[in-house]
Structure 1
Amino acid sequence: MYFKHQLGLQDIAGRKINTREAVRAVILLENKLLLVKTVRGDYKFPGGGRKAEEDDREALVREVKEETGFRVTEVREPVGEIIENYKDACEPESVFRMTSAYYLCEIFREGEKQQLDDYEAELGFQPVFIGAREALKLNEEIFAREMEHSNIFLSREICALKEIIKFI
C-alpha cells in the first residue's frame, strides 16, 4: 500500500515554490504507534526536514532519536507521501511546499534522552505509544475545536493517520 495526497493551496501555477523535503517514521509496536504528543494534546509522527547531506534513512534515524529518544534499527519501505502547499511566511507571494515521505521503521525498545530543538521543547514534544484510531480521534477533536489556531502539521497528520489505519 502506498498513499499520496496534496494539501493546502491547489492553484499555484506561475508562483515561485520554496521546497523542503521531510521524512516521517511509522513505528508500530504491539499494535500501537510511536507518536510525538505536544502540549496542546495533538499527535504527530516523529520526523522532520532532511539536511542537504542526508538521505532519507539518515534523516529518519536522526529525527526519531532527537524527537523520541528511540534508536531506529531498520528503515523499511516507504508507505506514503503528503505534499503541503502553503503561502510562504517569509515570501508572501511565493508558495512553501513541504513534501513528507512516510516510512515503516523498526526501533530498539529501550529509549534514551530526547535531543529537542528549541521549538520542539516549546511544543512539549513527548514520545508516546498510542492506538492509531485514538490518536486520529484526538487530533480530529483538536482540529475541529481550534481550526486555524491548531498546529500547522495537524491536517497532515490526520490525513496520514487515516491512511495508515487502513493497513495496520
Structure 2
Amino acid sequence: MRLLRSSIHSDITDLSGSVFTRKAARGIVLKGENILLLYTERYHDYTLPGGGIDKGESHIEGLIRELLEETGAHSITNIREFGRYEEYRPWHKEGFDIVHMESYCYLCDIDSQLKSTDLETYEIQNGMTPVWKNIHKAIEHNENTMLRSPKKGLSIERETFLLKQIVEELL
C-alpha cells in the first residue's frame, strides 16, 4: 500500500528507544461530501472509524470488524486501498518508549442503514459517537481543536491530514 506520510511526534528526539509496532485499519465511507466519522467528546475531534488489527486477522477482516463495532456499518463492499500513514509517537505503557503506528486506510461502501455499535468501555467513556459529517466542516473543526483546545489527542494531526488527502484525491 502506498505511503501517504511518515511522521515523528515532536516529543521524540530519536528512534533508538524500544519500539512497539501497532497496525490499524481505517475506513473511508463517503456520500458526496459527507463522510462517516467518529466524534470523540473527550478530545473534541473527528476521526476515521477503525482501530487495531487483532492477531491472526487480515487488514480487511480488521477493517470490517472495526467498522461494525464503532459505527454499526455492515454489508461492507467494494473495499479498495487508499493509503498508509505511519507515525512514531510516545508510548506511555510499560515496556516500550515509542509506538510505531501504521494506519492502513481503505475506501469502501456500506449498507445505508447503520446497526447498533459495540463500543469498548473506554470508547463510551470518551464519548465516541458515529456521525455523518461534511468533510470540509470536519477538517475546519479539527483545525480549530488543534489551535485552541487543550483536550486534543495524539491522533488529530493524522486524522486531519487524512481528511485533507481524501478531499484532494477523491472530491
Alpha-carbon shift at residue 7 of structure 1 (Å): 2.2
Question: What percentage of residue pairs aligned between the two structures are identical?
Answer: 29
What is the 5 A alignment of 1:65-76?
A: 65-76=68-79
Letter in 2 for 1:95: I
* Other structure's SS at 2:107 match: strand
Correspondence 1:132 to 2:135? yes
Correspondence 1:106 to 2:109? yes
Correspondence 1:31 to 2:33? yes
Question: 1:139–1:154: 8 Å Cα contact kept in structure 2?
Answer: yes
Query: In 2, Cα distance between the equivalents of 1:18 and 1:127?
Result: 29
* Other structure's SS at 2:148 match: helix
What is the 5 A alignment of 1:3-152?
A: 4-9=4-9, 12-40=14-42, 41-91=44-94, 94-146=97-149, 149-152=151-154
Alpha-carbon shift at residue 15 of structure 1 (Å): 2.6
Going from structure 1 to structure 2, the CA distance change for 1:11 and 1:61 (only over 3 Å counts) comes to same
Letter in 2 for 1:161: L
Query: In 2, Cα distance between the equivalents of 1:113 and 1:150?
Result: 27
Q: Deviations over 1:56-102 (max 9, x none)?
A: 11111110111111114215221111111112212486211110011
Query: In 2, Cα distance between the equivalents of 1:118 and 1:136?
Result: 27
* Other structure's SS at 1:152 match: coil
Letter in 1 for 2:54: K
Query: In 2, Cα distance between the equivalents of 1:118 and 1:82?
Result: 27
Structure 2 residue runs without a partner (length 5+): none
Q: How many residues align?
A: 166
Going from structure 1 to structure 2, the CA distance change for 1:21 and 1:125 (only over 3 Å counts) comes to same
Q: Deviations over 1:141-163 (max 9, x none)?
A: 0111125x412211110111111
* Other structure's SS at 2:93 match: coil
Q: Deviations over 1:105-132 (max 9, x none)?
A: 1101111111000111012111111121
Question: 2:19–2:96: 8 Å Cα contact kept in structure 1?
Answer: no
Question: 1:24–1:48: 8 Å Cα contact kept in structure 2?
Answer: yes
Question: 2:41–2:127: 8 Å Cα contact kept in structure 1?
Answer: yes
Give TM-score, length-normalised by structure 1.
0.90
Letter in 2 for 1:25: G
Q: What is the Cα-based RMSD across aligned positions, in Å? A: 1.9
Structure 1 residue runs without a partner (length 5+): none
Query: In 2, Cα distance between the equivalents of 1:44 and 1:3?
Result: 19
